Structure 1
Amino acid sequence: MNIALYVLAFCAGSAISIQAVVNGRLATNLDGNTVAAALISFCIGTLVLAVFAVSRGGLSGVIAALPAQPSWTFAGGVLGAGFLFSTAFLAPKIGLTNMLVLIIAGQLITSITVDQFGLLGSLARPVTQVRLAGIVVVLGGVMLTLFGERLLKW
């Protein structure tokens, strides 16, 4: 295991939290226009990625290879836009913690399904009892986070 990759994954998770707050604030400052906030965020992100892509040798080979790609592989941009819009919309409405634990629950359930069956061309990684137990524990934490206060009142 490469600890640097785990640290990078943790930082990416932290960035999602910060991004949701920043985009939510931008949307609020734009009279609640979450679509405009997501668009602005994507445009800035596109510029940053363009600088990195050009600095790594350009895009001519990549552009030439685009027509040969299956159409479903372009869904990542749509999914990313939906994610970004959702976080900007939901964070101020349901709170950052509630939003993120639900995102984590969705990621875990989807990820274990993709791993188990090798969906979308990914490598199949059978679900073990230990991994399943870990996911159940995390989903229990999600439920506790969302409904724990109500349970304590009983």
Structure 2
Amino acid sequence: MQSFYTLFALIIGLIVPLQAAVNNQLKAVIGGSTPLAALVSFAVGMITLILMSLITGQKFSGLLALPKAEPWMLLGGIMGAMFVFGTTLIAPKLGAASMMALIIGGQVIASLLFDKFGWLGLPLREISWPRLLGAALIVVGVLLVNFGNQWINKST
């Protein structure tokens, strides 16, 4: 099962730049509005999730407990909207590779902190030297993807 989750995570990573490019094309069709393109993307996503819930037999009655949720627990929707809006806005400005490198760099840094401190109920995981080295290499990769050409052009 672990290999399934690993493959699924890789597939999600492969889809993010595709999603940004698709949403950017949608934005052009609907008059250049990034928020409206993100809105359409979320609406289609909501329909997809409703269908997935029906197909997998989820009990919608669980949603009746939603008023018991703390307001901060609903921030995931805002964060998701900002992600879709942001990638739709940024991909044509920075390019898919630069955008993704920066997103991945930010994710790795935040993830190490979540592992180290177990924030929001996530299990504690040790930040070992190999993990820190991996994170440092990702940061170096982010810098090379975003600034490597500038550095090479300055030195020649």
Confirm or deny a common fold (TM above 0.5): yes
Give the shorter-chain TM-score range: over 0.9
Q: CA RMSD in A?
A: 1.3
- After TM superposition, the score normalised by the length of structure 1 is 0.94
Q: How does 1:71-150 map to 2 (within 5 A)?
A: 71-150=71-150
Whether the aligned pair in 2 keeps the contact of 1:27 and 1:33 (CA below 8 Å) is yes
Whether the aligned pair in 2 keeps the contact of 1:115 and 1:124 (CA below 8 Å) is yes
Whether the aligned pair in 2 keeps the contact of 1:116 and 1:124 (CA below 8 Å) is yes
Write the letter of the residue equivalent to 1:103: I
CA deviation after TM superposition for structure 1 residue 126, in Å? 2.1
2:40 corresponding residue in structure 1: 40
Runs of 5+ unmatched residues, structure 2: none
Residue deviations 1:20-73 (CA, integer Å, cap 9, x gap)? 100011112222100000000000000010011122334433112212222211
Name the stretch that deviates more: 63-72 or 114-123: 63-72
SS at match of 2:14: helix
CA deviation after TM superposition for structure 1 residue 83, in Å? 0.2
In the alignment of these two chains, the number of paired residues is: 154
2:5 corresponding residue in structure 1: 5
Aligned-partner Cα distance in 2 for 1:59–1:21: 34
Aligned-partner Cα distance in 2 for 1:55–1:103: 32
- After TM superposition, the score normalised by the length of structure 2 is 0.93
2:70 corresponding residue in structure 1: 70
- Structure 1 segments, 4+ long, off by >3 Å, are none
Q: How does 1:20-39 map to 2 (within 5 A)?
A: 20-39=20-39
Identity across the alignment (%) = 36
